[in-house]
Amino acid sequence: MPLNQPILLAVTGMSPAVLTETVWALAQERPPMVPDRVVVVTTLPGKARLEAELLQPVPERGQLSIWAALRAAVLALPTVSRTGADRGSEEDNRLILEEVRLIASHDNQLGRSFPLEDIRSPADNEMAADFILDEVRRITANPDTRLVASLAGGRKSMGALLYAALSLLGRPQDRLTHVLVSEPFEDPGLRPRFYFPTTPATPHHLVRTGAVYPGDQARIGLADVPFVRLRELFPQQLGRYPGSFNGLVRTYGERIRAVSGPPEVHLDDEALTMETQGVRVVMIPREYAVLRFLAERSQAGQPAYVQQKDAVDDFAEWLAGWTRRFGVMTRQRALGEDWAAPAEEDLRKQLSGLRAKIKAAGLGAWEDYLLPRRGAFGIRVRMVQ
């Protein structure tokens, strides 16, 4: 694979002309951008429309399909030919349209997946989100690729999901584009339909008015859509990128909340729970006592201890006062008599239990706040009622 191999990824629906228009617009750039491969994500009706309009022989184009005619026209452009070392379209390995990627839904009863007819339900939308993210992940996982994504086609939700996927996984070399075509060349009432300018110019008749528009009058522009590359924010801290769309959104959200400041926590002395961002963690009394002690110190603006052993005396003093407020649970039943004088090893054991429960609850992204690090003994949280 050549370095920086350009790949066009497009979402399409019932108007596959956005694909040919995008390819044509890219070829007009200076320098021209001609994708090596073209990947299309769509639904079952979208695939049928693409194949009928772009891949079937057309008599007025010498039995070439629209896609073949587009390749021949683009690869023959002077600037493109020079870039491609004057290869003919038959020998040129650019603009290869890959097998259409069909968004599929899962039928748990049958144990099968089926191509989506449309994106009509929240479940369909979730399937589409995961599918589009997987395509973006597959392309961006290779450092030698350069992704050009087009959000001009398909349902608005598909374009929005592609935008989100680029924001989640896009790299500095990747682009997100939207093709703009002058009126009336994107009007479905044109006969024949407009796909790209031809030489000689094809006359296009607008059925409802009878007007004729030569195809060379069309103006096709490509707008780059800015997006925030969240992938660049946490290249080391994140570690890995979860497989599902919602999972990756949650992971980024947790990390952003973590770097934006200490999380808010609600502590329940009766239930022995911590709740933060809708996640509830249940603890045994000793774990809860350690967490409560650290949270109160954080609320008071007191610094973390340098080492765990430095906290033992302060914790024992705090524990004596806290167990008097412990409600129906007595120290003997809740904590045990031996915790009248807790030792460093006791604290280390409860910290280990806390760490495991917080991570199991999916709060690992906040470990810098909720979990003591190495020899230090302290956390940063905002306690709320």
pTM: 0.68
292 within some domain: yes
Do 155 and 279 belong together in one domain? no
Task: Give the C-alpha separation, 357 to 360, whole Å.
Answer: 5
Domain membership of residue 144 (yes or no) is yes
Give 53's contacts (C-beta < 8 A, 6+ positions apart): 16, 17, 66, 193, 195
Residue 270 and residue 226 share a domain: no
Look at residue 225 and tell me if it is in a domain.
Answer: yes
CATH number at residue 69: 3.40.50.10770
DSSP line for 316-342: HHHHHHHHHTSTT--HHHHT-GGGGS-
Q: What CA–CA distances, in Å, run from 282 to 12, 35, 268, 288, 346?
A: 47, 53, 10, 8, 19
Q: Of 210, 232, 254, which closes a domain?
A: 232
Are residues 224 and 311 located together in one domain of the fold? no
The pairing of strands 145-150 and 175-181 is parallel
Q: Has residue 51 been placed in a domain?
A: yes
Looking at the fold, whether 49 and 113 belong to one and the same domain comes out as: yes
Q: Which two tokens stand for residue 85?
A: 């070392």
Do 135 and 193 lie in a common domain? yes
Question: Are 63 and 188 members of one domain?
Answer: yes
Contact 176, 170 (CB under 8 A): yes
* Same domain flag for 333 and 207: no
> The domain containing residue 308 runs over which residues?
263-383
pLDDT at residue number 154: 82
- Looking up tokens 């604290």 gives 347
Q: Give residue 79's pLDDT.
A: 80
User: Residues 277, 226: one domain?
Assistant: no
**Residue 371 maps to which CATH number?**
1.10.10.10
Amino acid at 95: L
- What is the reported pLDDT for 90? 64
Give the residue among 371, 76, 115 at the shortest CA–CA distance from 196.
76
Whether residue 200 is found in the same domain as residue 317: no
Instruction: Report if residue 177 sits inside a domain.
Output: yes
* Number of residues that make up the chain: 385
So what's the pLDDT on residue 251? 77
- Of 215, 232, 249, which one is at a domain's C-terminal end? 232
**Could you tell me if residue 250 is inside a domain?**
no
Return the structure tokens found at 54: 């772009």
What would the 3-class secondary structure string for 166-177 be?
Answer: HHHHCCCCCEEE
Task: Give residue for tokens 């350069």.
Answer: 146
- Round to whole Å and give the CA distance between 337 and 189: 85
Same domain, 102 and 220: yes
In a domain, 207, yes or no: yes
Residue 211 shares a structural domain with residue 270: no
When divided into structural domains, the chain yields a total of 2
239 in any annotated domain: no
| Pairing label, strands 175-181, 220-224 | antiparallel
Question: Do residues 45 and 124 both lie within one domain?
Answer: yes
pLDDT at res. 328: 43
**pLDDT at res. 278:** 83
What are the pLDDT tens digits along the chain (385 aa)? 455 899 999 999 999 999 999 999 999 999 999 999 999 999 999 999 999 999 999 887 778 999 999 999 999 998 886 555 555 556 789 999 999 999 998 888 888 888 999 998 898 999 999 999 999 999 999 999 999 999 998 888 999 999 999 999 999 999 999 999 999 999 988 999 999 998 888 999 999 899 999 999 999 999 999 999 988 776 544 445 667 888 888 778 777 766 666 778 899 988 889 998 788 999 998 999 999 999 999 888 888 888 888 999 999 999 888 876 665 455 556 787 778 788 889 888 998 888 888 888 877 656 666 666 556 778 878 788 6
